[in-house]
Amino acid sequence: MAVLADKCPEIKVTVVDINKEKIIAWNSEDLRKLPIFEPGLSLLIKRNRNKNLFFSRKINENIAEADIIFISVNTPTKKKGLGAGYASDLKWVESSARSVAKFAKGNTIIVEKSTVPVRTAELIKTILSGSKSNSNSEKKTFSVISSPEFLAEGTAIKDLENPDRVLIGGDDDKAIEKLSQIYQRWIPKSKIFITNVWSSELSKLTANAFLAQRISSINAISSLCERTGADIKEVANAIGADTRIGSKFLNAGPGFGGSCFQKDLLNIVYLCRYYGLEEAANYWEQVIFLNEWQKIRISNLIIDSFFGTVTDKKLVILGYSFKSNTNDIRESPAIRVAKDLLENGANLVIHDPKVSKFQISNSLGENNEKSNNCSEGKWTFAIDIYNACLEADAIIIMTEWAEYLNIDWGIICRSMRQPAWIFDTRGIVKEKSLKGAKLKFWQVGKGLITNNIK
Ligand code: UDX
């Protein structure tokens, strides 16, 4: 919405939320207090806030005023009930639709922005069709269209300013044209694809499933490289040069995280099973299994490197967010690895340039906040990388933050306990930067390469 407001100064954009704290934070004078960190976002907020971009808790009034409403609420995987563990929980979509049904006036276009399982537009339409018009006002009418979001965190502003494509799904030509006109303010018409509503919804799930599958594929090959002496980067380079495969999204790592990939895969698995397509369901589910395995494999090989016990070993985790340039830790592989190591009695020191101690504490379990304990081990939060590594037994790089690219490994290694280990799950440490450092070095898709460091 910040990008939309920036590109269309004559359109008034209001973001509403039932969460008071979030709205206060979005209106905060101190731009470091915005609820999410995203490169370039604070600049857009500063430029447009209270001009044509507003953040408000007045939900009913703003619905009544709106010509177009984007439903952008979260749709997490259901924890309970029918479809638990697979299907999306649509309660927030449903309650938003009910508010729209109650307070909207005249003709309102509803744009389904949340990632939703196929046929959600139907649910929204059903709720809206039950809404009664005020006797003294004009008749309420609604048009429901789908326009899923393809932005990735960390590059969200760029992705929105210059998208590969925009999808608009629906059958109301007038509503589609209205939304398309808005996008055309900064996006060429050739990049705006009009589809039926179900294709639009399914395209979003499928795009994420394909991207996730690519990561599980390269991670599966990374494990084979580590055993055979092949180098995953050389393999990725070689296959990426084939234009049919393409070079993007081929970085082996600790497994994908984030709010979308797993959730959308689970949704596809659920849909396939719902329609009796067991083989298709199993195929996509395997992408998730492989992703879990990659995380477990990394925890296990760290523990194995210490002859099966990390009890009281000081292990430093560098990076906790699920990727760099975001403070989002949802489904971050670092959580799983940290939990495994804590369960094995490790003494963890966790560093991340943007993730807070509070977030880490929440992710490591409820009992954790007071005692700082998770099962056997302990963890502390570090502000300074070099201090964090003093007397450490191992350093585990979990996120590819720019801060970690220029670490002086010579200084770090001299301050560590011997035998000192570095586990680079992102493949970001250059071997030549380790020259002369006394340590054992493991890198994803390459394995143990101590012997090469002279
Ligand atoms: C994803 C989609 O890219 C985006 O289009 C959709 O709208 C939302 O979901 P996001 O989850 O923000 O975006 O991040 P993305 O860059 O796709 O990365 C997802 C995960 O895959 C991260 O954990 C990342 O580290 C990992 N990844 C990505 C790899 O391990 N290797 C790669 O080559 C690329």
Q: Tell me what pLDDT residue 449 has.
A: 85
**CA-closest residue to ligand 1 atom 25:** 323
- How many angstroms is it from 270 CA to the middle of ligand 1? 21
Residues 445, 252 contacting (CB under 8 angstroms): yes
How many Å apart are CA 6 and CA 26, to the nearest integer? 16
How far away, in angstroms, is 307 Cα from ligand 1 center? 34
317, 399 contact by CB (below 8 A): no
Q: Is 260 a catalytic residue?
A: yes
Reported pTM = 0.94
Counting atoms of ligand 1 from 1, which one is nearest the CA of 253?
Answer: 30
Choice from 259, 260, 320 to test ligand 1 binding pocket (greatest atom count within 8 A of CB): 260
Ligand 1 atom with the shortest distance to the CA of 261: 9
What are the Cα distances from residue 323, in Å, to 121, 214, 384? 31, 16, 20
Q: How many CB atoms lie within 10 A of CB 432?
A: 7
Given a contact cutoff of 8 angstroms between Cβ atoms, the answer to whether 48 and 5 are in contact is yes
Q: How far does residue 140's CA lie from ligand 1's centre (Å)?
A: 40
The per-residue pLDDT for 139 is: 81
Which residues of the chain are modeled with pLDDT < 70?
132-138, 366-375, 451-454
Q: Residue 133's pLDDT is what?
A: 62
- Which protein residue's CA is at the shortest distance from atom 34 of ligand 1? 249
Task: Tell me the C-alpha distance between 391 and 420, whole Å.
Answer: 9
Backbone angles phi, psi at 291, to 5 degrees: -65, -40
Distance of CA 184 to the CA centre of its chain: 27
Own/partner pairs, 415-419, CB within 8 angstroms, 24+ separation: 415/386, 415/389, 415/390, 415/391, 416/389, 416/390, 416/391, 416/392, 417/314, 417/391, 417/392, 417/393, 419/393
Find out whether 426 and 322 touch, Cβ atoms under 8 Å. Answer: no
Ligand 1 pocket, mutate which of 113, 153, 262, 330 (most atoms under 8 A from CB):
153
Residue closest via CA to ligand 1's atom 13 equals 152
Nearest atom in ligand 1 to the alpha carbon of residue 156 is 12
Q: What's at 77, amino acid-wise?
A: T
Q: Tell me the CA–centroid distance for residue 153 and ligand 1, in Å.
A: 8
Q: Which atom of ligand 1 is nearest to the CA of 324?
A: 25
Task: Tell me which of 8, 225, 260, 413 is the catalytic residue.
Answer: 260
Nearest to 140 by CA among 190, 239, 69, 50: 69
The protein residue with its alpha carbon nearest to ligand 1, atom 27, reads 256
- Distance (angstroms) between ligand 1 centre and the Cα of 152 equals 6
- Which residues approach ligand 1 with their CB closer than 6 A? 149-153, 208, 211, 215, 249-251, 253, 256-258, 260-261, 322-323
Distance CA 163, CA 150 (A): 8
Phi and psi for 390 in degrees, rounded to 5?
A: -60, 125
Q: How far apart are CA 165 and CA 187, in angstroms?
A: 9
